[in-house]
Amino acid sequence: MTIAKTAASGGTGLHPEVLAFTSSLALDRALLQEDLVGSLAHLTMLSRTRLIPSEDARALREQLVAIWKAAKAGTLVLADEEDVHMAVEAELTRVLGERAGLLHTARSRNDQVALDLRLHVREKVADALDVLATLLEGLAARAEAERTTLLPSYTHRQRAQPITLAYQLCGYGAMFSRDVDALGFVLQGVAALPLGVGAIGGTSLPIDREVTRELLRFSRVTMNGLDTVGDRDFALDFAYAAMRSLLHASRVATDFFDFSSPEFGFVKLDGEIACGSSMMPQKRNPDVFELIRGKAGRAVGNLTNLAVLVKGLPGGYNRDLQEDRQVLLETGPLLTSVLSMLHLALGKVHFDRERCLAAVESDYMQATDVAEALAMKGIPFRTAYKATGALVRACQEKGLPLAQVTLELAQSVDPRFDAEVLKSADPRLAVERKANAGGTGPASVEKQLVELKSHAARARELARAVPRLASLFDALQEAAL
């Protein structure tokens, strides 16, 4: 059996093996809703500009709506065509005959798929923004409950300075806040309507792209058809934003992977997220966090795949671009599933506050604070740094944590140490003294919490502003023709 576009243009149809090789239907049937919404808007424009009779437009709309409902009910069977666009046209032709061809007036699959993909990205960005808002809200709520929990911070994976857990969680939130901004940028990129440029150079038919733009709630139309049909910048932007967000998730996951190990012992994993071993009955493995890291690698691969795909392509549409489908269709679900799981998992970890505090009190992480206290007395910081370094070495030789240093020992190292300076060796005071913006001090953390909540609210707002496919479908099936 030979079918597909060669038959439509007067040829004999594609060889079955060529059809199987070139078909994207198995993947892009996931774009059915986007294709139907785009077709309804195009149909409405064709009817309003009198390019097709309103009676035919009503019949076509009725069948497009029927396809949508059948798909929702799980009863739709699409013909084995090259792609979802031809499959929809084949279904319309089965019911309406020759009249089905009216829908393709002034439209190419080049601008049709460009529209479908933009609608898809817009929808998935809205989903991701909602998940990011939930994650940020969860981080802020947990941080509020952990204002006084102390634990070490790390540079080079060596203990650095004492911080609060609230500050650590705000640090995670800062990363995901930038992801909200990145996805907002993606929305700006997909805000241009591609439909109406045809295959590459537009159409001689008197269409009105502004009608379609308003129906689909895009903010502008694309500038140049040659660029439009070959443009996948919006897909690269989305893949990059998703990759970056999943890299952030991976970094958070690595912290909790470490924190849950006996070597750290800072957190205990709830039984609902801890996985066992098939052989070792004592194991409580952080599989969730490991898989978050692993899945982040797929996002890196997706971006690389897209970048290599478009590298070196000439202007206009090229069939190579069909290979964007698998990458792009995976990106949205991958992003939302990982971020959702991270939110769930973070709610199922329990910090051992005593173990965390002991790690701080038994170490020398307040050394910088002691040096800065000396500097506040007018001593050059490098001089204070060297004196404090000598004090740390003296404490280490005696097996004495810095928090327990005596005035006698300190002054034997350098007489400029006094009781007031040594107060800064208390890890709680060391945290409280960091009052500067961005620091771990209580006032700074409060401001950071406000910022997190603001970004969560902005994510919700951006998501709500996105015209969703279901609402567009509802409006288009009732739109005036």
b (16+ CB within 10 A) / e for 180-209: bebbbebbebbebbbbbbbbbebbeeebeb
- Distances in Å between the Cα of 219 and the Cα atoms of 71, 165, 188, 192, 365 are 29, 43, 9, 6, 53
Q: Which amino acid is at 285?
A: N
Q: CA 194 to CA 210: how far, in whole Å? A: 11
Q: CA 56 to CA 264: how far, in whole Å? A: 70
Q: Which DSSP category does 313 fall into?
A: P
89-97: which pairs have CB atoms within 8 A and are 24 or more residues apart? 90/3, 91/63, 91/67, 92/60, 92/63, 92/64, 92/67, 95/63, 95/66, 96/59, 96/60, 96/63
Q: CA 224 to CA 241: how far, in whole Å? A: 25
Between CA 159 and CA 166, with CA 162 as vertex, the angle to 5 degrees is 115
Residues 217 and 123 sit within 8 Å (Cβ to Cβ): no
Residue 131: Cβ within 10 Å count = 22
Active site residues: 156, 277
Q: CA 420 to CA 87: how far, in whole Å? A: 79
Nearest to 167 by CA among 426, 439, 382: 439
Helices (H), 362-426: 367-375, 381-397, 407-413, 419-422
The residues, ordered by sequence, that sit 6+ positions from 326 with a Cβ below 8 Å of its Cβ are: 27
